[in-house]
Amino acid sequence: MNFNKITPAIITQLKQIVGEAYVLYDAESLANYGHDETEKLLYLPEVVLKPRTAEEISEILKIANKELVAVTPRGAGTGLSGGALPVRGGIILSMERFNRILEIDERNLQATVEPGVINEAFQNAVAEKGLFYPPDPASKGSCFMGGNVAESSGGPKCVKYGTTKDYILNLEVVLPTGEIIFTGANTLKNSTGYNLTQLMVGSEGTLGIATKIIVKLLPHPTNDLLMLVPFRSLDEACAAVSEVFRAGFIPSAMELMERDALEWVSNYEKSNVVKLEADIQAHLLIEVDGNDIEVLMKEMEAIATLMSKYNTSDILFADTAAQKQELWKLRRKINEAVTSNAISKEQDTVVPRAELPALVKGV
């Protein structure tokens, strides 16, 4: 499909909708919104809009349809799959002003948020009420909830709890025509009509733009235990991942970190949280959570015993909240450390657990 260029007349109409302060077309702004975290790619939009309401987005899309102008929705720009890149120019529709937590419904274990709310800020807000929103991407400190919906984001907790798609109950969406709809109902089960909610989740904004997100919450686990297992063989570390599940355990998180990654992070952060022995090639970070601490301790001991069948060194058990935070910081800083020190090409890659050794060897 061929799209038209944006004319001064269209700019005037857009200013009337969102206000002149929220229509950007200077060179610096266009460059800032022309990339995300996907490699070193840059696609310049012709204008950046920052609407505040679903009705404003509706009017923008009606104009875009009438004038055949391309529109690319954008969250925080932390994605690795190019979903926010305006490859056809046109309009970047930034959701950064949709930044409110509208409701936390403790009785029904639900919350309603706008798409520009930062994931970690939302997690902290519900945690204050003893509730839990599990999806926790590596970029949770900066990524938007709307982007999580668009990409069906996961994170370490998805091992046990599932990804974003498992927590979206309903969406307010502006369709490409400008029509504003709700995709479902604020219930755990809804068999009326097609499942438009799940159709929208993971669609990267190609089917519509979410302006309200209704999510399911869980009671917050009261305890968690974390351990770091050093392996002398990367292949064995990969194999151990599948072995944990075959043994009937479902950790709340499990992350594989090869030696090079931890060396880079340690140097980047000037940290000595993990002392790397010369023959250690990989680590597994394993977490279990729940409410009964005695049950969790037995589960962690059983997993540690399972790890002993491999060629491992001494297991590090995190004894304090601060130590847990430091270990998770090592994992979350890998991307930043590698990017700052190397020519890198970032991709989100998914393979079956049993294929992990082959993937790592291929890389």
CATH number, domain with residue 312: 3.30.70.2190
**Residue 319 banded pLDDT, cuts 50, 70, 90:** confident
In this structure, are 213 and 227 located in the same domain?
A: no
Q: Give me 235's structure tokens.
A: 């292949």
In this structure, are 248 and 285 located in the same domain?
A: yes
**CB of 125 within 8 A of CB of 105?**
no
**Residue 63 banded pLDDT, cuts 50, 70, 90:** very high
In this structure, are 148 and 235 located in the same domain?
A: no
For residue 344, pLDDT over 70 is answered with: no
- Provide the domain limits for residue 32: 8-94
Please give the Cα distance from 197 to 320 (Å, whole number): 40
Beta bridge partners of 73: 93
Considering the domain boundaries, does residue 1 fall inside one? Answer: no
Range of lowest pLDDT (193-202, 224-233, 265-274): 265-274
**CB of 80 within 8 A of CB of 181?**
no
In this structure, are 148 and 205 located in the same domain?
A: yes
For residue 316, the SS3 value is strand
| pLDDT mean over 246-256 | 96
CB atoms within 10 A of CB 344: 12
**Residue 341 banded pLDDT, cuts 50, 70, 90:** confident
| pLDDT mean over 241-247 | 95
The reported pLDDT for the residue numbered 138 is 87
Give the whole-number percent of the chain exceeding pLDDT 70: 98
The reported pLDDT for the residue numbered 360 is 75
In this structure, are 35 and 164 located in the same domain?
A: no
Please give the Cα distance from 214 to 196 (Å, whole number): 14
* Chain mean pLDDT for the chain: 93
The residues near 202 (Cβ < 8 Å, ≥ 6 apart) are 150, 151, 152, 165
| pLDDT mean over 26-33 | 98
Where are the extended beta strands (E) located within the chain? 23-24, 47-49, 71-74, 91-94, 101-105, 110-113, 131-132, 168-174, 180-182, 209-216, 218-219, 223-231, 253-258, 282-290, 316-317
**CB of 57 within 8 A of CB of 97?**
no
For residue 136, pLDDT over 90 is answered with: yes
For residue 241, pLDDT over 70 is answered with: yes
In this structure, are 163 and 119 located in the same domain?
A: yes
For residue 180, pLDDT over 70 is answered with: yes
Please give the Cα distance from 142 to 138 (Å, whole number): 9
In this structure, are 120 and 241 located in the same domain?
A: no
Q: What are phi and psi of 286, to 5 degrees?
A: -125, 130
Beta strand pairing call for 316-317 and 223-231:
antiparallel
